[in-house]
Amino acid sequence: MTADPLPPGSTIGILGGGQLGRMLAMAAARLGLRTHVYCPDPDSPAFDVAAARTVAAYTDETALTAFAAGCDAVTFEFENVPARTVEVLSARLPTRPGARSLAVCQDRLEEKRLCAALGIATADWLPVDDAEGARAAAATLARPAILKTRRLGYDGKGQACVDGPEAAEDAFAAIGGAVSVLEARVPFACEVSVIGVRAADGAFAAYDVTENEHEAGILRTSRVPARIGEETAAAARAIARRIADALGHVGVLGVEMFVLREGNCESLLVNEIAPRVHNTGHWTIEACPASQFEAHVRAVAGWPLPSTRRVADARMTNLIGADAEAWAELAAEPGAALHLYGKREARPGRKMGHVTRLGPTADPTRPLTVGEVDSA
Amino acid sequence: MTADPLPPGSTIGILGGGQLGRMLAMAAARLGLRTHVYCPDPDSPAFDVAAARTVAAYTDETALTAFAAGCDAVTFEFENVPARTVEVLSARLPTRPGARSLAVCQDRLEEKRLCAALGIATADWLPVDDAEGARAAAATLARPAILKTRRLGYDGKGQACVDGPEAAEDAFAAIGGAVSVLEARVPFACEVSVIGVRAADGAFAAYDVTENEHEAGILRTSRVPARIGEETAAAARAIARRIADALGHVGVLGVEMFVLREGNCESLLVNEIAPRVHNTGHWTIEACPASQFEAHVRAVAGWPLPSTRRVADARMTNLIGADAEAWAELAAEPGAALHLYGKREARPGRKMGHVTRLGPTADPTRPLTVGEVDSA
């Protein structure tokens, strides 16, 4: 897969037109690369910053073929790309990441199997194919557990709590009777993620481990540094690298993990793998010489990976639904970096933007307070 | 001129499609604002990141009217906008900056007169209308002097050295016999610039003073902090504010100045005023919470001005003509922030991109070396 880097002026195709595609397109433009965004929704936020646009279904092979003809490489802002779509594109031009990264990461069961094969710990899990299987799995796993669809879950969607076998069949119905995985709930001390980037030649770099808080299944804040030990952080980065290597991944990937703590001892369980730029890496735009978006574009274009060094503490807060109505106050907050995604409609649960606040680097263990800004 | 801020989703029109328009469009997009770029050149770099594009002459009133109808405010990436163009636009929607900023700053003589009226020092100068006037002016001013066209000069174009009255007529011919200004050359210790931003309500903020080096009339590097005294820096910022106030300016402006030094005593002479984002402010993208581009967009949209605080030392180097061929090496330099403008053809003297390197903030007097990177 190693090849000459794409020269400035080349066109990167991006499948998906949301905020991740939008920030990818801007990072590409900074490097003198053009982007062509492909998305079925004519109101896609990424269209506003792309040199070329295709509005078509992901399964429209005529449109895909024309799109491929106008691009020098293709990437994805989301993992739920139909296999046939990847096949059509990858027959015509480099697609980064490749089919294996997408196939594994769009199926929760495949993710678990990959971790198991690599000897990377996860919460206990069992596959669930039907209502009876849900009951049997719930009888086996410690309670409480959580039933998650294998495919198409995001932001807490496609999940249901299972407090024992008698509740399992209802939970299975609640998630639409989809093939799924039952996972034991773990008493984690905190959730963290690693944003790593892997080049086609196997080079790898990771940003500092991020500590994340979710509300109602949706990411609320990410902060760096994570309040975990240095050895734990190193172990987390090593896990991300092993996963990226095993996938032959090219580009950024985000690996979410639970941190368990007993006394002074911390351990990690992998929760989810996203073969793409990740919401928990948005702080890299302000706090690093090159953001996760630039890192991904560089990997896709075959350029050298950037420095992933962090130059400031940071806290990123998502603006969800009506949160973005506070844009005027946020714009008036000195030093708060406000990002709005240009979405026309603020539906509940919809990510409308985010704000990143930088803090001092001096003391990495010092907690940041919400009101603390502009003090780097 | 004070009005409600333009809400996210509004469209800012940008006249001019070069790298300044491109970076303005990206800054607007970050804030959830759409951009419509208007430029006669179909290959304009800013088109690649704009939501809407118009390819038409600046004097095409039909196109201007349609453009105005699709925008909520209009701004400019260059000052040489025909007066009639500004008139057509400003009759239809807010144009920021306004006609006065553009009229004064597109005419070197008007700039000198403004400074004189404000009691702001410049090099000695005399207006030149014809060859005879050039000779007379050269006989009056100290030699050597430099003849500069009143209009349309940039990057050292439209300038000729005048070493005494006998050379003046040739110099006048060399600049095409255009109405011009003869300026005494000054033995400056260094060149600096102030990037300031003024809001419609008169609020003003300035970034740290930048020290600039030119080669063959074209900006080569900008560095902050400038190696000048604190009082000189404060005086420079105050000059920029007085000029902005006198123009009723809205948006960013760049004021270039010469620093004269005699012993411990420094003084300032204003050289040039640019009523727009400025090449010597590109370092603000990496070294400040909000760049000059965001500052300008905020002023144009009626949003609060951002913090102009600097969080790192920086050195920006322009990539001119064939310099950009080194993109692969620059991309491999850890921590160097590479910007390429997406221009298809690398003509000599053409600005193709720039690279910003950050250094430590600890010691503001410490010189940065060219090879010093990634050590913030």
Give the pLDDT of chain A (376 residues) as one tens digit per residue: 456 899 999 999 999 999 999 999 999 999 999 999 999 999 999 999 999 999 999 999 999 999 999 999 999 999 999 999 999 999 999 999 999 999 999 999 999 999 999 999 999 999 999 999 999 999 999 889 999 999 987 776 788 899 888 888 898 999 888 999 999 999 999 999 999 999 999 999 999 999 999 998 899 999 999 999 999 999 999 999 999 999 999 999 999 999 999 998 999 999 999 999 999 999 999 999 899 999 999 999 999 999 999 988 999 999 999 999 999 999 999 889 999 999 998 899 999 999 999 886 433 344 443 333 333 3
For residue A289, which residues of chain B lie inside 8 Å, CB to CB? 286, 334-337, 358, 374
Provide the ipTM. Answer: 0.92
B304 with A332: Cβ contact below 8 A: yes
CATH superfamily of A190-359: ATP-grasp fold, B domain (3.30.470.20)
Select the residue from B44, B294, B340, B341 to test the A interface by mutation, using most A Cβ atoms within 10 A. B340
> Under a CB-based contact definition with an 8 Å cutoff, are residues B2 and B201 in contact?
yes
Which residues of B are annotated as part of the binding site for ATP?
A: 108, 148, 153-159, 183-186, 191, 214, 271-272
Secondary structure (H, E, C), B99-147: HHHHHHHCCHHHHHHHHHHHCCCECCEEEECCHHHHHHHHHHCCCCEEE
CA atoms within 13 A on the CB side of B2: 6
Of B22, B335, B353, Cβ closest to residue A309: B335
Q: What is the pLDDT of residue A258?
A: 98
Please give the C-alpha separations between residue A270 and each of A125, A148, A274, A332, in angstroms, as whole numbers: 12, 15, 12, 39
> Under a CB-based contact definition with an 8 Å cutoff, are residues A134 and A150 in contact?
no
B217: which 2 tokens? 């009339």
B337 with A22: Cβ contact below 8 A: no
Q: What is the pLDDT of residue A122?
A: 97
B79, amino acid identity: E
Of B298, B307, B331, Cβ closest to residue A303: B331
Paired strand residues for A313: A359
Residues whose CB is less than 8 angstroms from the CB of residue B317 and which lie 6 or more positions away in sequence, other chains included: B220, B221, B354, B355, B356, B357, B370
A31 with B286: Cβ contact below 8 A: no
Residues whose CB is less than 8 angstroms from the CB of residue B284 and which lie 6 or more positions away in sequence, other chains included: B195, B207, B290, B291, B292, B293, B295, B308, B310
| Peptide bond just before A144 cis, omega within 30 deg | yes
Placement of tokens 């000048």 in the chain: B228
Residues whose CB is less than 8 angstroms from the CB of residue A120 and which lie 6 or more positions away in sequence, other chains included: A239, A242, A243, A270
Q: What is the pLDDT of residue B362?
A: 35
Paired strand residues for A15: A38, A76
Radius of gyration in angstroms for the set of CA atoms belonging to chain B, rounded to a whole number: 20
Q: What is the pLDDT of residue B195?
A: 98
For residue A334, which residues of chain B lie inside 8 Å, CB to CB? 289, 306-307, 309
B342 with A311: Cβ contact below 8 A: no
Query: Where are the domains positioned within chain A?
Result: 11-95, 124-184, 190-359
> Under a CB-based contact definition with an 8 Å cutoff, are residues B194 and B184 in contact?
no
> Under a CB-based contact definition with an 8 Å cutoff, are residues B55 and A55 in contact?
no
Of B9, B22, B374, Cβ closest to residue A309: B374
The count of other CB atoms within 10 Å of the CB of residue A60 is 17
Q: Is B39 left (phi over 0), alpha (psi -120 to 50) or beta?
A: beta
For residue B20, which residues of chain A lie inside 8 Å, CB to CB? none
CATH of domain B124-184: 3.30.1490.20
CATH of domain A11-95: 3.40.50.20
Which residues of A are annotated as part of the binding site?
A: 108, 148, 153-159, 183-186, 191, 214, 271-272
- Pick the closest to residue B205 from B239, B230, B241, B258 (CA basis): B241
Q: What is the pLDDT of residue B374?
A: 32
* Helix, strand, or coil (residue B178): coil
Q: What is the pLDDT of residue A1?
A: 43
Compare all CA atoms of chain B with the CA of A310 and give the residue at the minimum distance.
Answer: B376
Compare all CA atoms of chain A with the CA of B26 and give the residue at the minimum distance.
Answer: A26
For residue A32, which residues of chain B lie inside 8 Å, CB to CB? 327, 339-342, 353
- Pick the closest to residue A304 from A168, A198, A217 (CA basis): A198
- Pick the closest to residue B112 from B165, B178, B195, B180 (CA basis): B180
B289 with A26: Cβ contact below 8 A: no
For residue B22, which residues of chain A lie inside 8 Å, CB to CB? 29
Compare all CA atoms of chain A with the CA of B23 and give the residue at the minimum distance.
Answer: A30
A338 with B25: Cβ contact below 8 A: no
Q: What is the pLDDT of residue A373?
A: 34
CA dihedral B233, B234, B237, B242 (to 10 degrees): -140
Secondary structure tally for chain A: helices H, strands E: 11, 17
How many whole angstroms separate alpha carbon B265 and alpha carbon B366? Answer: 20
Select the residue from A24, A308, A311 to test the B interface by mutation, using most B Cβ atoms within 10 A. A311
pLDDT in tens, B226-284: 999 999 999 999 999 999 999 999 999 999 999 999 998 999 999 999 999 999 999 99
> How many CB pairs below 8 Å do chains A and B form together?
128
Of B32, B303, B332, Cβ closest to residue A304: B332
Strand order in the sheet with B159-162: B125-128, B180-184, B145-149, B159-162
For residue A290, which residues of chain B lie inside 8 Å, CB to CB? 337
Q: Measure A235 CA to nearest chain B CA, in Å.
A: 24
Placement of tokens 């992933």 in the chain: A308
Placement of tokens 């025909």 in the chain: B82
Select the residue from B30, B34, B303 to test the A interface by mutation, using most A Cβ atoms within 10 A. B30
How many whole angstroms separate alpha carbon B80 and alpha carbon B58? Answer: 10
- Pick the closest to residue A75 from A254, A300, A281 (CA basis): A300
* Angle ∠(B231,B232,B235) on CA atoms, nearest 5: 85
For helices A19-30 and A292-301, what crossing angle results, to 10°? 70
Q: What is the pLDDT of residue A165?
A: 85
> Under a CB-based contact definition with an 8 Å cutoff, are residues B212 and B280 in contact?
yes
Strands A218-224 and A313-320: antiparallel
How many whole angstroms separate alpha carbon B73 and alpha carbon A173? Answer: 53
Q: Collect the ranges in chain B with pLDDT lower than 70.
A: 1-3, 156, 360-376
Compare all CA atoms of chain B with the CA of A48 and give the residue at the minimum distance.
Answer: B51
Q: Measure B29 CA to nearest chain A CA, in Å.
A: 7
How many whole angstroms separate alpha carbon B160 and alpha carbon B169? Answer: 11
Compare all CA atoms of chain A with the CA of B43 and give the residue at the minimum distance.
Answer: A51
Placement of tokens 């950024």 in the chain: A252
A26 with B26: Cβ contact below 8 A: yes
* Angle ∠(A293,A295,A301) on CA atoms, nearest 5: 100
* Helix, strand, or coil (residue B323): helix
Of A5, A309, A358, Cβ closest to residue B289: A358
